[in-house]
Every structure is written in structure tokens, then in C-alpha cells.
Amino acid sequence: MTNPQGVGIDQGSYEKLITEVTEWVTGPGEDWADRIEASGEVPEELWSELRERGYLSMAAPQRLGGKGLSFEQWLGLMEIFSRSHASVRMIVHVVNGTWRAMDPWATEEQRDQFVRPSVAGTKKVAFALTEPGNGTGADISCSVEREGDTYYLSGEKHLITFGVRCDYWLLAARLAGSTGHEGTVALMVPRDVPGVRVEDTSQTMGVTGTDHAHMIFDRAPVPVANRLGEEGQGLQVALGGFLLPSRVSVAMSCVGLAERAQELAYDYAERRVTFGKSLTQRQAIQFMLAENEADIEAAKQLILYAAREWEAGSPRSQALSSMAKMTAVSMLGRVTDKALQIHGGLGYWKTEKIERVYRDARAQRFEEGTNEIQKMVVFRELQKTKTR
């Protein structure tokens, strides 16, 4: 296994990148947002633009063709991208993260076949863990039977982001008849593999345009050469190097979206006049905006602390990543609710940008694990400290 963490770029180059991304998000990014909401789809041209601008290869190390940002630097950009349309954020977040699951376990041949094309944005990889009939972990039931150099894959996956338009599914399954973590395998499954039926389940409340798939496999053949790691390491591949930093990244996306909601609320309150005064002159509104500001900053600082501890290899990283995610998600719910309330009834209309922000915010409640899951992780880590 290799160390997936980037060493970072110099401060001058990073500040230029921050400026560039901010200008894109507030300019072309807003145009894309309007287009996506109007059509209900994310066109392939958006993927191409993000790829050509290098936005899909920022977090990966230079040896994989990435820009080599440190994790904390990447989070600063995630914060900005998250102020854009949720589907823009989703593309950038996923592509800049899936390499973390693949790279530590890949052979050099597999890096050339899967990892580097993913970082370059020329091949799309969808993370396929969740199943309809169980949780997301050791109880997965999607199974494989090995015959010579081929695994035959059977079972179902659902809620798979970009699972319709991807080139490969990075899929966790288990050897038929095995239980628990033992016997799990991680496979790079080609999208066009025979023996699979893909259903497009993209009609969601928010995050308009991001495709989601339900896949049903019936002895779909997958080369053993497409396995990452060894038999028995499937969940380590799926969860170990990917889920922890991804939770921190999602937490920072909550901060970015909350900042956008706060910006919209403040701007509206300044221009909205009732009984001769703007809303910003009303103490009730002042208090709501002040509470939002403190809420956002508190979550942000916990997230940055979790990021630094993860980069340092701290044993507290597991607990801190879940603390950051659950704190940020709860904060986002409070901030967007107040922001919509400040808009009054008008905020409920699709003509106001806060309406989309409010819908998109709800998706963060289950991305990379619900708050209930995060609390279980935190308590489990707490128990470890008490039994030493």
C-alpha cells in the first residue's frame, strides 16, 4: 500500500487557484446551475469543462497525474465548489476522492488501467457499496463465485452515484458463502459487463441532474485481474482509505453550502424593506444571521482540525471524521432553515436560489453515512478509550 496523502503546493499557487475557482463558481458555475435546474440533467459538456480546467484532478498526487494538493488545501477548494450547484459539487467531490480507495491497493498495471484515467477524468468510476436489502458494511450480500481467472457476480446495488454513466463500478462484494469482513472483495467492474441490468433512479428531491443507479447482476463475469487488494480485503478497500477523508470532505461541503445560504439570506435581508426598515435593521433577523455565522465557523474549525489529524495519522481520525460530518450536517440544517425563513414565503418559490440550496442541503444528511451512523462510530471510538 502507498500513502495517498498529497504534500501540497506552494501558497502563491494555491491562492491563485482559490481565486480562479471562486471566479468560475460565481460566473460559469451559476450559468451551469440554471441550465441543470431547467433541464433536469447534467450534460456531458460540464464534465468536459471541469476536466479541461483541471478541477477533477486537484486532490490526487502528481505521480497519478494530479495537482498534488494537501488534504487541507483540497478542503479549501471543496468549500468553494460547494457554493455552486450540488451536482457540480458532487462531480468534483467524487472524482477527487475515488482514487483514494483504488490507489493504495492497486498494482502499477491497475494504476495505469483504472486510477490514472480516473484522475485524468477520461474514465468515470462509481463507488458501489450500498445495497437495498441491508446496511452498508459487513452485511453486504452481493456475492461472487470464482471459476479460474473469473469472478461471477450476482446481487444488487442501489443509490449508486454516477452508476448510470460511469465506465467502471468500484464494487464491494463477498465470496459466496462467506460472512462478515472475511471473504469480501473489491472489484473494478466494467459498466458494459454482460449479465447486468441498470435502472436509472435519478428522480431525487435535490441534487438535480446527478444520476443514480440500481444495478442487478446475474453471474456477470469480472476478471480476477480487476480485483483490488486480496480476497478478504474488500471492505478495507471500500472503507479504509476512502470513507474517512470523504466524510471530512462532505462535512466541508456542508460549510460551503451553508455559506451560500447565509450569503443569500443576508443579501435578501438588506434589500427587503418592511414598515420603512430593511430586515437587517430588525433585531430578530440580526440574531438569526449572527447565529448562522457562529454555527458555520464552529463547524469549519472542527473540520479543519479533523483534516489535520488525519494527515498526521492520528488515532483519533476515525472519531473526528464522524464528529465533523455529524456536526456539519446538523449545522447546515439549522442555517438553511433560518436562511429560508428570512426570505419569508418568497423563499419557497423556485425563482429564489435559496429554494434549491434548501433542497440540496437535505441530501447531505445521508451522504457518506447518516448522523446515526456517525454517532455509532464516535461512541465506538469513545468506548475504546474507556476500556484501555
Domain boundaries, the chain: 11-123, 126-231, 242-386
User: pLDDT band at 57, cuts 50/70/90?
Assistant: very high
Q: Give the model's pLDDT for residue 79.
A: 98
Distance CA 140, CA 155 (A): 10
The four Cα atoms 299, 300, 306, 312 give a dihedral, to 10 degrees, of -160
Give 274-292 pLDDT, tens digit per residue.
Answer: 999 999 999 999 999 999 9
Give 30-42 pLDDT, tens digit per residue.
Answer: 999 999 999 999 9
Cβ-defined contacts of 94-97 (< 8 Å, 24+) = 94/126, 94/127, 94/161, 94/162, 95/56, 95/57, 95/119, 95/121, 95/124, 95/125, 96/56, 96/57, 96/58, 96/59, 96/60, 96/249, 97/59, 97/242, 97/245, 97/246, 97/249
- In the set 291, 293, 368, 372, the catalytic residue is 368
Q: What are phi and psi of 213, to 5 degrees?
A: -125, 150
Distance CA 131, CA 155 (A): 9
Q: Give the model's pLDDT for residue 241.
A: 72
Q: Give the model's pLDDT for residue 64.
A: 97
Average pLDDT of the residues of the chain: 94
Q: Give the model's pLDDT for residue 137.
A: 77
Q: Give the model's pLDDT for residue 290.
A: 98
Instruction: Kindly state the percentage of the chain with pLDDT values over 70.
Output: 98
Cβ contact 367:250 at 8 Å: yes
CATH 2.40.110.10 fits 126-231, yes or no: yes
Q: Give the model's pLDDT for residue 1.
A: 41
- Give the closest residue to 103 by CA, choosing from 85, 117, 93, 90: 117
Distance CA 296, CA 254 (A): 9
User: Full-prediction pTM beyond 0.85?
Assistant: yes
Q: How large is the average pLDDT for residues 194-204?
A: 95
Is the predicted pLDDT of residue 388 greater than 80, yes or no? no
Sorted by sequence, the CB contacts under 8 Å of residue 47 that are 6+ apart come out as: 91, 121, 124
Cβ-defined contacts of 266-269 (< 8 Å, 24+) = 268/342, 268/343, 268/347, 268/352, 268/354, 269/342
Is the predicted pLDDT of residue 2 greater than 60, yes or no? no
Is the predicted pLDDT of residue 240 greater than 80, yes or no? no
Q: How large is the average pLDDT for residues 44-69?
A: 96
User: Which of these CATH numbers, 3.40.50.2300, 1.20.1250.20, 1.10.540.10, 3.40.50.300, describes 11-123?
Assistant: 1.10.540.10
Sorted by sequence, the CB contacts under 8 Å of residue 230 that are 6+ apart come out as: none
CATH superfamily of 242-386: Butyryl-CoA Dehydrogenase, subunit A, domain 3 (1.20.140.10)
Sorted by sequence, the CB contacts under 8 Å of residue 305 that are 6+ apart come out as: 320, 324
Q: How large is the average pLDDT for residues 256-269?
A: 98
Q: How large is the average pLDDT for residues 40-69?
A: 96
User: pLDDT band at 182, cuts 50/70/90?
Assistant: confident
Q: How large is the average pLDDT for residues 99-110?
A: 96
Is the predicted pLDDT of residue 6 greater than 70, yes or no? no
Cβ contact 357:343 at 8 Å: no
Catalytic site residue 368? yes
Q: What are phi and psi of 199, to 5 degrees?
A: -110, 130
Is the predicted pLDDT of residue 230 greater than 60, yes or no? yes
Kind and range of the H or E element at 182?
none
- Give the closest residue to 55 by CA, choosing from 46, 64, 63: 46
Give 130-158 pLDDT, tens digit per residue.
Answer: 999 887 778 899 999 999 999 999 999 99
Q: Give the model's pLDDT for residue 3.
A: 40
Is the predicted pLDDT of residue 7 greater than 80, yes or no? no
Give 316-356 pLDDT, tens digit per residue.
Answer: 999 999 999 999 999 999 999 999 999 999 999 999 999 99
